[in-house]
Amino acid sequence: MLPEINFEITGKDGLARTAKFKTPHGVIETPTILPVINPNIQTLSIDEMVSLGAQAFITNSYIIRRNEKLRERAEKHGVHALIGFEGPIMTDSGTFQSHVYSDVEYTNLEIVEFQRKIGSDISTILDIFSEPDFSHEKAEYAVNETYSRMSEIPQGVEDTILAGPIQGSVYNDLRKKSAELMSSSQAGYLPIGGVVPLLENYRYDTLVDIIINSKLNASFSKPVHLFGGGHPMFLSMAVLLGVDVFDSASYVKYARDDRMLFSDGSRDLSRISTLPRWSPLYGKFSVKEIRELNAEDRKKALSLHNLAAIFNELHEIRERIFQQTLWQYVETKARSHPYLFKAYKRILEYSDILEKYEDLSKKSTFFYFDRYTDQTPYVRRLRRFSDHVKNNSREPVILGDEHWHPGRPHEKGIKSAYENSDRPFFLKWQNMLIPLELDETYPVEQIISAGGDNIPAEETTTLQDVAVSETKLRDFDIDRVRTIADYQFGFGVGRKLFPDCTEVTRSRNTGRIRGIFLDGKLLATLRAHDGFFTLTIEGARKLKDACEAPLHRVSVTDDSAEFNGKGFNVFFKFITSNDESIIAGNEVLVVNSRDELVAVGKSVVSGKEIKYFRSGVAVKVHKGIMQGEEKISDSD
């Protein structure tokens, strides 16, 4: 059986991820692009491309095989010697040639065996290309035949990784079917095929449908590759939707037409006045000198610039994933081109689905731009919760900016009015109403906003109009922690987790809620940076009692449970089952085979992703049952 790719996530931002995966000739760090190498003509040297950021390359095994000299060299010395690169090399199969010329002289089995023979790290089957204008029937034939060709590859090859292209034209049901079939096969690498015509015609909104329906129905443990998707203006959007790897010959194709790539599009050399400082041509040529080069030298120079533009964009994307600001980057970049903006609006139609893969909160400040931001996953998550609370409450007290400042409800008499009233208090936040108790949770307080432009019609309530009792009817701090718990763990959990006798302590430095105690035992701390809970073992026990299995749980082997109980992290390969509704970045209960609590920690990925991975850390444990009692530092 073919080896599974050792694919390990190193960072994530929703579906976007940085990762490492091993090939027979080295590790590839994603997201990245594989520059296309024409074995007959190499416009740029390998060293030049590596210096710009290339870690791996893709070349065409069909072209190599049908050229006698290239075939003999490749069979004798290997494709790595032929290309002059000792790192990972992927080979395509000749599918495009087969599509254009109706047939190729080699069978699927022959071309895969040839790729294996010449030492390709990732070998592609001879799939059936499907055009965007194919009928559903014709596209389904391509899906079925491609899977059939994958199935005919003998099991047991261990020196190459099979790439199983996801086909299906523009039909979402067929992309779903193809992704599921290829994920269930021996393919260890999943390229999305048949998209180049869409890329060439700026049909990015259709590409959004294709990528989402391919990605969400594919195995999350296998890299997803977008064939031909190398233009820098679409890279960030594709990565946001879960693409890990790209390939492209666009750096040469655009150069051949005297066109230069930039992060927001392409520009004709004749209309360029100066070179950007990041360009490898800066300081070596003036624009005038580039124009005066002979055709071959000009193509080489512009190819160097174009490839630098691609890797420069990928570097920015990787940093955005680390900072967890990729959505913000895509949202701003979408305004650079009408077709990109059209595609971004299509992404927003999938927000409810994409929300399942977004972390509980982000490292970064939440940017609010306009009414389109209302449709993003975090705002929709908050709106759904707030609407539920409002719809199940009596007449609310609605506070405007004149009454409220984030994190300081005690000012201007708000806390006193709240505690002496039995009416629910809501805040006007952007274009919606939210419970006052969530005023410090992400993204309510952690926001930079251009201002809402569709304020709810409800009039704000003056505190003088609020009927108050002479005695205290409720405790704002207790209600706050309960509401946050409901938002973080599910409706009804807050009251079970924090009963009436719960005690709340505040930070000496900030005055904000810090620790929540019951009978002298610390249940949880409230994080300053996002306003959510980190549970102690005692708090985890209460959450477990409040929620039936498998909610908020990952179950591990008993051998793993012994180590997790000592505070060691949970690895994917030791998880036997889990709650699929787990939110990435949220608290999870680690239990053994008997559903006994052994640790509590933070999930690295969503519950829907956990079951796919066999390598890396799944839960970062912050407390095991065998560790000592938890306390809050005196400095707080």
- Whether 263 contacts 233, CB under 8 Å: yes
- Whether 494 contacts 504, CB under 8 Å: no
Residues of the chain with pLDDT below 70 are: 1-5, 96-104, 156-157, 401-412, 452-458, 629-636
pLDDT in the model for residue 463? 76
- Encoding tokens for residue 409? 């409800």
Distance CA 469, CA 417 (A): 9
DSSP 8-state symbol, 92: E
pTM summary value: 0.94
Structure confidence by residue, pLDDT tens digits, 378-417: 999 999 999 999 999 888 899 876 655 655 555 568 888 8
Multiple choice CATH, 489-624, 2.60.40.10, 3.90.1150.10, 3.40.50.2000, 2.30.130.10 = 2.30.130.10
- Encoding tokens for residue 157? 């090859």
Residue 99 CB neighbour total at 10 angstroms: 17
Positions of E strands within 308-351: none
Distance CA 191, CA 224 (A): 6
Name the nearest CA neighbour of 165 among 226, 112, 216.
226
Distance CA 125, CA 189 (A): 11
Q: Provide CB contacts within 8 A for 99, sequence distance 6+.
A: 128, 129
Structure confidence by residue, pLDDT tens digits, 199-223: 999 999 999 999 999 999 999 999 9
Distance CA 611, CA 221 (A): 9
Q: Which residue has the tokens 């040639």?
A: 97
Q: Residue 618: beta bridge partners?
A: none
CA 630 to chain centre: 34
Fold entry, domain 7-352: TIM Barrel (3.20.20)
The reply to whether omega before 550 is within 30° of 0 (cis) is yes
Whether residue 92 lies in the annotated active site: yes
DSSP string of 447-482? EEES--SS--SPPPPPGGGS---SS----HHHHHHH
DSSP 8-state symbol, 202: T
Distance CA 528, CA 550 (A): 29
Distance CA 93, CA 317 (A): 30
Classify residue 481 as left (phi > 0), alpha (psi -120 to 50) or beta: alpha
Q: What stretch(es) of the chain map to CATH 3.20.20.105?
A: 7-352
Structure confidence by residue, pLDDT tens digits, 46-75: 999 999 999 999 999 999 998 999 999 999
In angstroms, what CA-CA distances link 354 with 213, 347, 550, 585, 599?
A: 11, 9, 22, 15, 29
Q: What stretch(es) of the chain map to CATH 2.30.130.10?
A: 489-624
- Encoding tokens for residue 262? 């930039």
pLDDT in the model for residue 95? 72
Q: Provide CB contacts within 8 A for 615, sequence distance 6+.
A: 6, 7, 8, 221, 572, 573
Length of the chain: 636
Q: Which of 13, 47, 92, 257 is catalytic?
A: 92
CA 78 to chain centre: 36
- Encoding tokens for residue 297? 């030298």
Q: Which residue has the tokens 């927000």?
A: 351
Q: Provide CB contacts within 8 A for 203, sequence distance 6+.
A: 132, 339
Name the nearest CA neighbour of 600 among 489, 515, 514.
489
* Own/partner pairs, 519-524, CB within 8 angstroms, 24+ separation: 522/630, 522/631, 522/632, 523/497, 523/498, 524/481, 524/497
